[in-house]
């Protein structure tokens, strides 16, 4: 051990009255031993012939922090390469080994360990390897430098993505705005011809005109969705909130989908909880969400099927949902339903039409702006339930008298 300890330091340590552990044998006395036990920055353990820890100096107990006495020596090691049999180690004890030990910080500490005999016991000395520490320091600096470079690159990429996203939103808004008027004109003129001139058309001509009307109607909806997405993703979504009647909003949405429902023979029933009728929301946007949910349910329902729109006031939220008897949705697809432009999101309705699936993504943004959340419950082949929740602070007291039957139920179709 280091023989340059000053006699003053040794006397000071010897008079301190703390040798770090009272289990040191009688041979371990004197200022040098006192320093090793109480003040040294070297880990010193006295081990039995079987490898149990009999004594530990203060630095060992401070560094490792575990109850050490009576424990097997390998209990302090981080077992990266398996337990080293103590007898095998003693056979080559003169060769220092680099071992990783547990510490009170939760981080491993690498020590250069040697073992020396002491009567029938053994002394284990462990000290920080200077070369190992220097190497570790260099590696940390290199990793930190690499991390800084990657952080800068990530910031540049994120900035580039933000600019590209802004350009995409600008393009969507411009394109949708420019397309909205001509598609609206096509739709209006097609409706006019169907209303005014259908009697003078042949069956084939009428079929062509209905195809034009249906295609223009779908295109008009897509253009509207693009406009909504560009507004939402540009962060310009604003709410014009007022106290409104949920049942009236449901009726408005039903009027927009009743024609499609009747053509497919789909019956729509509503069950609006009277306790949840008055809500503080953007009426037009909630109607948009309800219309989207009802349209999806109708389009995915079989001919002659049934769709149910219901609401329920729960202790922590208002729950509004639309249930259908459609084919259901596989779990893997459910994760992408509320994402804008998600890969593989496009799907086909029961009529065979291809859908880009922006409606649910728009609905999610609208509901989240109200402090709620969208949800879906579905099993393949067993129909689907789509809906949303609103927080309780969106509810307003109802002015209607309480009823023994708080659920208002209506049939449509």
Tell me the mean pLDDT per 10 residues along the chain, length 413: 37 39 66 85 90 91 88 81 70 76 86 87 86 79 92 91 78 71 82 83 85 80 73 76 92 89 91 85 91 91 92 92 89 76 48 59 89 90 91 80 41 55
Q: pTM above the 0.75 mark?
A: no
Rounded to 10 degrees, what is the CA torsion of 232, 168, 334, 353? 100
Determine the Cα–Cα distance for residues 281 and 73; give it in Å rounded to an integer: 67
Looking at residue 197, what is its pLDDT?
A: 82
What tens digit of pLDDT does each residue of 79-117 get? 655 666 777 777 776 678 888 888 888 888 888 888 888
Determine the Cα–Cα distance for residues 290 and 306; give it in Å rounded to an integer: 16
Please report how many Cα atoms fall inside a 13 Å half-sphere around the Cα of residue 306, on the Cβ side.
Answer: 5
* Whether 353 contacts 221, CB under 8 Å: no
Non-local CB neighbours of 398 within 8 Å, separated by 6+ positions: 274, 275, 277, 278
Non-local CB neighbours of 408 within 8 Å, separated by 6+ positions: 247, 270, 271, 272, 274
Non-local CB neighbours of 277 within 8 Å, separated by 6+ positions: 245, 246, 247, 398, 400
* Entry field: residues in the chain: 413
Looking at residue 298, what is its pLDDT?
A: 93
* Whether 293 contacts 318, CB under 8 Å: no
* Burial (CB count within 10 angstroms: exposed 0-12, middle 13-18, buried 19+), residue 402: exposed
Determine the Cα–Cα distance for residues 277 and 101; give it in Å rounded to an integer: 65
What tens digit of pLDDT does each residue of 3-55 get? 333 333 333 333 333 444 556 776 666 788 888 888 888 999 999 988 899 99
Tell the residue number behind the tokens 């990530």, with chain if given. 154
Looking at residue 98, what is its pLDDT?
A: 80
* Whether 369 contacts 237, CB under 8 Å: yes
Looking at residue 148, what is its pLDDT?
A: 93
Rama region for 265: left / alpha / beta (φ>0; ψ in -120 to 50; rest) = left
* Whether 225 contacts 217, CB under 8 Å: no
Q: Which of 305, 299, 238, 247 is nearest to 275 (CA)?
A: 247
Looking at residue 93, what is its pLDDT?
A: 65
Q: Which of 81, 77, 88 is nearest to 126 (CA)?
A: 77
Cross-sheet strand order for the sheet of 53-56 = 53-56, 43-47, 121-128, 109-118, 97-101
Q: Which of 322, 319, 320, 272 is nearest to 295 (CA)?
A: 322
Within 10 angstroms of residue 197's Cβ, the number of other Cβ atoms is 12
**C-alpha 283, offset from chain centre:** 30
Looking at residue 334, what is its pLDDT?
A: 79
Determine the Cα–Cα distance for residues 405 and 274; give it in Å rounded to an integer: 9
């Amino acid at each position: 051990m280091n023989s340059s300890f000053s006699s003053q330091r040794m006397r000071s340590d010897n008079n301190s009255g703390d040798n770090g552990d009272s289990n040191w044998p009688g041979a371990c006395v004197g200022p040098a031993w006192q320093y090793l036990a109480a003040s040294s920055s070297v880990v010193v353990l006295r081990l039995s012939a079987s490898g149990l820890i009999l004594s530990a100096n203060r630095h060992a107990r401070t560094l490792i922090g575990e109850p050490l006495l009576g424990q097997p020596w390998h209990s302090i090691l981080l077992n990266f390469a398996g337990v080293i049999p103590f007898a095998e180690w003693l056979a080559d004890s003169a060769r220092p080994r680099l071992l990783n030990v547990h510490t009170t910080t939760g981080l491993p500490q690498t020590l250069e360990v040697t073992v020396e005999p002491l009567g029938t016991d053994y002394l284990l000395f462990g000290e920080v390897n200077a070369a190992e520490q220097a190497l570790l320091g260099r590696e940390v600096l290199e990793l930190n430098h690499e991390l800084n470079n990657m952080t800068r690159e990530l910031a540049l990429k994120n900035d580039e993505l933000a600019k590209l996203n802004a350009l995409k939103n600008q393009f969507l808004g411009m394109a949708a705005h420019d397309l909205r008027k001509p598609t609206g004109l096509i739709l209006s003129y097609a409706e006019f011809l169907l209303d005014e001139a259908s009697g003078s058309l042949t069956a084939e001509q009428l079929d062509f005109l209905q195809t034009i009307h249906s295609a223009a109607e779908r295109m008009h909806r897509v253009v509207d969705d693009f406009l909504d997405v560009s507004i939402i993703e540009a962060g310009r979504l604003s709410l014009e909130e007022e106290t409104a009647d949920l049942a009236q909003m449901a009726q408005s949405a039903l009027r927009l989908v009743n024609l499609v429902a009747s053509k497919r023979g789909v019956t729509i029933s509503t069950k609006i909880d009277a306790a949840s009728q008055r809500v503080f929301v953007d009426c037009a946007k909630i109607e948009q969400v309800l219309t989207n949910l009802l349209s999806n349910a109708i389009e995915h329902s079989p001919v002659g099927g049934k769709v149910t729109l219901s609401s329920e006031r729960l202790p922590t939220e208002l729950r509004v949902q639309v249930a259908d008897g459609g084919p259901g949705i596989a779990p893997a697809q459910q994760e992408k339903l509320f994402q804008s432009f998600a890969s593989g999101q496009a799907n086909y309705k029961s009529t065979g039409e291809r859908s880009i699936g922006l409606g649910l993504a728009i609905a999610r943004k609208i509901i989240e702006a109200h402090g709620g959340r969208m949800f879906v419950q579905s099993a393949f082949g067993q129909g689907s339930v789509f809906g949303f929740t609103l927080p309780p602070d969106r509810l307003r007291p109802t002015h209607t008298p309480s009823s023994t039957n708080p659920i208002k139920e209506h049939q449509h179709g």
